[in-house]
A and B are shown apart, each in its own frame.
Chain A
Amino acid sequence: MIDRKIDDVDRSLIVATQGGLPLVPQPYHAIAEQLGLSADEVMQRLRAMLESGIIRRIGAVPNHYAIGWTANGMTVWDVADELVDELGARIGALDFVTHCYRRPRALPAWPYNLFAMVHGASRAECSAKAEEIGVLLGDACRGSDILYSTKILKKTGLRLAR
């Protein structure tokens, strides 16, 4: 495997923590014991992965529905190719957009190349946010849609094989 940025020990740490940290006073010691490592090595390696971006962050991962964000809309836009990067950066900077990406179209079924996720307590709130995005895109946008989610079918996050 070329281009691999983690070694086997890092991988074993990912496998041991991908489902969550142990809920004990010394979770890193518990992981160390499980893997046959020292607690210092576990902590050092986790710090290094956090620094390099392999770990985005450590903490609580909420179920957004359960904390009141019951509407989530994937807003999608067909934006002129020559303007999409400049406009995408401006959409991504809006404080209510949680993810924003440029993606390939899949014509004819899918004409949209800019995706921005918005959340709200209601669909009305999401569509108001989508309208703001639409205003920002102006004439560069040739079509758009909002895909509301109606059910979480799975939400486990990353799962490397043990």
Chain B
Amino acid sequence: MRELSTVDRKILAKLQGDFPICERPYAEAAEQLGISEEELLQRIEQLLADKVLTRFGPMFQIEEMGGAFVLAALAAPEERYEEVAALVNALPAVAHNYRREHALNMWFVLATETKAGIAEAIARIERDTGLPVYAFPKEREFFVEMKLEARL
């Protein structure tokens, strides 16, 4: 794991949201961090290259645009794990996929532009892998706020 400088940490602490929408947003954000626009751009580029950041930009909430977002899982036999992961990941509708320790050992999030897209994606994964997919659509959301600060 790569070391993070004080400035990198500050970027992570202050810039997980509220990036401005204006003519020179990097300049405005940089000023609040006490660095130059050029330095901020370079640092973000480096953090992305080092995979400390997976992305820098808007995070969309697909349900608000009429689409759907559903957690699903399957039990992949160990000897087929990589093959199944490749088949699942090949679908653009799969936004995230995690290996977890459980009989249901592959947990992924489907994000589709229409609600009907979820059933299609599940049917496709079941057909491609030959494995049953368990869907866990949210029935109620109590809290979502994924902003974790660097703790290295």
Q: Which chain A residues have a beta carbon within 8 Å of chain B's beta carbons?
A: 1, 3-6, 10, 14, 17-21, 23-29, 39, 43, 46-47, 49-50, 52-69, 74, 85, 88-89, 91-93, 97-104, 106, 109-110, 115, 119, 121, 145, 147-161
Chain B positions within 8 Å of A109 at CB level: 103-104, 134
Chain A positions within 8 Å of B98 at CB level: 149, 151-153
Distance between Cα atoms of A131 and B35 in the complex (Å): 42
Q: Which chain B residues have a beta carbon within 8 Å of chain A's beta carbons?
A: 1-2, 4, 11-12, 15-19, 21-27, 37, 41, 44-45, 47-48, 50-62, 64-66, 71, 85, 88-89, 92, 94-104, 106-108, 111, 113-114, 134, 136-146, 148-152
Determine how close the nearest CB of chain A comes to the CB of B151; give it in whole angstroms. Answer: 4
- A/B interface sample: 22 pairs, CB < 8 A: A4-B65, A14-B58, A50-B58, A54-B64, A54-B65, A60-B56, A66-B51, A67-B52, A68-B1, A69-B151, A101-B71, A101-B138, A104-B137, A109-B103, A121-B151, A152-B98, A154-B108, A155-B95, A156-B95, A156-B96, A157-B96, A159-B111
Contact yes or no, B99 A151, CB < 8 A = yes
Nearest neighbor of A14 in chain B, beta-carbon distance? B60
Contact yes or no, B58 A58, CB < 8 A = yes
Chain A positions within 8 Å of B152 at CB level: 67-68
- Starting from the known contacts A109-B103, A109-B134, 9 additional A-B residue pairs (CB-CB under 8 Å) come to A18-B58, A27-B25, A54-B65, A57-B18, A59-B16, A62-B12, A104-B136, A153-B85, A157-B54
Contact yes or no, B94 A67, CB < 8 A = no
Chain B positions within 8 Å of A53 at CB level: 61, 64
From B2, B53, B139, B143, A100 is in contact (CB under 8 Å) with B143
Distance between Cα atoms of A92 and B95 in the complex (Å): 23
From A14, A23, A62, A115, B148 is in contact (CB under 8 Å) with A62
